[in-house]
Chain A
Amino acid sequence: MAFYWKLAWRNIFRNKRRTIIASVAIGIGLAALIFTDAVIIGMKDSLIRSTTASFLGEAQIHREGYRLSREVELTLKNPEAVLRQLAGDTSVAHFTPRTLAFGMLTSPANANSILLVGADPQSEPYLSQFDDALKHGEWLGTGERDLVIGSKLAETLEVTVGDRVVMTVAQVKGGDLSQEMFRVSGIYHFGIRELDGGMALIPLRKAQQMLGIGAAIHEIAIRFHDINDAENPDLPFWERYSVNGNEAAGWPRLMPEMKNVLELTNFSMYILAMILAGIVVFGIINTLFMSLYERMFEFGVLRAVGTRASGVRRLIVLEALALGIISVVVGVILGLGLTALVAHSGIDYRGIEMSGVHFQEIIYPVLRTMQFVKYPLWVIIFCTLVGLYPARVAGRMHIASALRKSL
């Protein structure tokens, strides 16, 4: 075997130009695979962060049926107990209670329907980014009539920080209208239509009072210590909090469109892998067959002097393996260089929406060891497998025909 391996390496370099062209072609394919994977990981992280960090949280707990119906009557069962349990849960980093109700916000200039969010001024900033996204004014403070709205809504209502607006909501029990005046304390801007144009945040206690629900809440948003927990369907957390008529769910269930986007990116990887497979198949087969037909007479000689068909087959497969290894070296260098280069500057997709999910950050490709182990291994294995075909052809050659011009 050692001899055939030595011979295979030397044969590969007999036609340097052809070997370089084939290995660069395969290497570019591998580099593209590594780069795309790095971008997709970066994009996925960015999307998850954008989606979960802006408002959603990594997980939420609701009353059963609330997520589908959004009925304000469906408040959480035993909220105090749940909140106490969360406070002692080691997997949970932060959580915040919220009330959610549809209402009308009116200014002297205009009126707009909104989603009224009753937020805890202290814990909400750990779950959402409203405070970070503030362009004017301040986050909810101690004032019970503070109100934070998005830039688009402020534009529609023609209000700015310090202006007064009137909030109207229907009380949960009886449906009587409850109306209160608020002062715009802050205006945020996410660049996301739904958040900037259709949401208003007021202190939790004021919202509970307007809705007439006492200390009830509609949801608890949660952030885990490990961001991957939310994607784990077997996490004990879900069972632990999906009791007594409540239901806990991670972001993949809360935002299935996000899951679709990620599946789409995975599909893109498969497509790219298929293209790479095509490049490898044609690159290797073309190179090996050209080499094989050029050396048919030589193979005839080797067979004539006593090399078994299996020996010739082994030689061709080892040549394919050698070509695969060279291609992998080229691909890893190109992939590492390209990804490191782009990882430095990032890809700016901010503001672009994809299936309802917005990119809010610059995407930085993420390099993982796996990319330099799994994909190169695929290429090497695939090259070797592809080499079996020309090896089979070489092994079945008719020796006398190969030597037609000699013996």
Chain B
Amino acid sequence: MNHKKFIVSTRNVTKTYYDNGVDVQAVRGIDLDIAPGEFTAIVGPSGSGKTTFLNIISGLDTPTNGEVLLEGKDLSAMRGRDLSDFRRDHIGFIFQAYNLVPVLRVEENIEYIMMLQGVSKEERHQRVMKILEEVGLSGMADRLPTKLSGGQQQRVAIARAMVSRPRLILADEPTANLDSKTGAGLLDMMRELNEKTGMTFLFSTHDNMIMERARRVITLKDGIIAEDERRD
């Protein structure tokens, strides 16, 4: 199989934790291919291994066995700064609790990754203003995160994840802390951005709203893929 046509490819990925003297098999051999532009949800009950699996896909954790390829690159071959730089340039993260840096203004939060990439100040500013417009937060660049509502903070987090133009966005329960109306609005916005930019979105979620909007739903159970449903 040609892995290069997939943005994410995993082969026989396993992860075993040693916890309180007991081996816990969180992931038990997952084979998965995600194509560019997908809008996919990984679902499953707590303890099904979806968080561990996403950590492995993003290079935040290492598999016990198996192979993880991101855009054709073997993550297990990368270490330290190479891995950090790879995440910075290829993956956007959206976290459940927004996780903006509270002492940085909205613009500073969003431009942070571009700053790490060495993008010029002028270009950073232009891109921040553009993405703020896209996520509906024009005029809020100078605000501190604490002065924003939960929905607005999550929009900033989405803007931060997308502004560096990664090809893959990983989102962990992005709507968990939002009311259903705000959550639905955000999901619609992400879906629109997915269609507009071709960025790949991969969610880990319990949220039915995400499952309803996802074009592919992968169900994990006891560390393996129990179901892989495509809705194209």
What are the residues of chain B within 8 A of A311 when measuring CB–CB? 116
- Select one of B84, B96, B160, B173 contacting A307, CB under 8 A: B84
- Select one of A11, A298, A305, A405 contacting B87, CB under 8 A: A305
Interface segment, B50-58, B128-136, B191-199?
A: B50-58
Knowing A301-B93, A301-B95, A302-B101, the reply to whether A407 touches B60 (Cβ < 8 A) is: yes
User: Would you call B71 an interface residue if the criterion is a C-beta within 8 Å of the partner chain's C-beta atoms?
Assistant: no
Give Cα A303 to B101, complex, Å: 12
Inter-subunit contact B55/A305 (CB<8 Å): no
Give Cα A280 to B37, complex, Å: 53
Q: Which residue of B lies closest to A3 (CB)?
A: B115
Q: How far is the CB of A294 from chain B (nearest CB, A)?
A: 11
Q: Which residue of A lies closest to B56 (CB)?
A: A400
User: Would you call B204 an interface residue if the criterion is a C-beta within 8 Å of the partner chain's C-beta atoms?
Assistant: yes
Inter-subunit contact B116/A400 (CB<8 Å): no
Inter-subunit contact B81/A307 (CB<8 Å): no
What are the residues of chain A within 8 A of B103 when measuring CB–CB? 7, 10-11, 13-14
Give Cα A276 to B97, complex, Å: 41
Contact indicator per residue, chain A 320-359, by CB within 8 Å of chain B (1) or not (0): 0000000000000000000000000000000000000000
Knowing A10-B103, A311-B116, the reply to whether A407 touches B81 (Cβ < 8 A) is: no
Q: Which residue of A lies closest to B102 (CB)?
A: A14
Inter-subunit contact A7/B104 (CB<8 Å): yes
Q: Which residue of A lies closest to B81 (CB)?
A: A308
- Select one of A301, A306, A405 contacting B85, CB under 8 A: A306
Give Cα A7 to B55, complex, Å: 27
Q: Which residue of A lies closest to B112 (CB)?
A: A305
User: Would you call A87 an interface residue if the criterion is a C-beta within 8 Å of the partner chain's C-beta atoms?
Assistant: no
Q: How far is the CB of A295 from chain B (nearest CB, A)?
A: 9
| Chain B residues close to A by CB (< 8 Å) | 51, 54-55, 58, 60-61, 80-81, 84-85, 87-89, 92-93, 95-97, 99, 101-104, 112-113, 115-117, 160-161, 170, 172-173, 204
Q: A301-B95, A306-B116, A407-B93 are in contact. List 14 more A-B contacts (CB 8 A).
A: A14-B103, A297-B97, A298-B99, A298-B101, A301-B93, A305-B93, A305-B112, A305-B160, A306-B87, A306-B88, A400-B55, A403-B60, A406-B173, A407-B172
Jot down 17 A-B pairs with beta carbons below 8 A, ordered by A: A7-B101, A13-B103, A298-B101, A305-B92, A305-B112, A306-B84, A306-B116, A307-B84, A308-B81, A399-B60, A400-B55, A400-B61, A403-B60, A407-B51, A407-B58, A407-B93, A407-B172
3 smallest CB-CB distances across A and B, nearest first, come from A306-B88, A10-B103, A400-B61
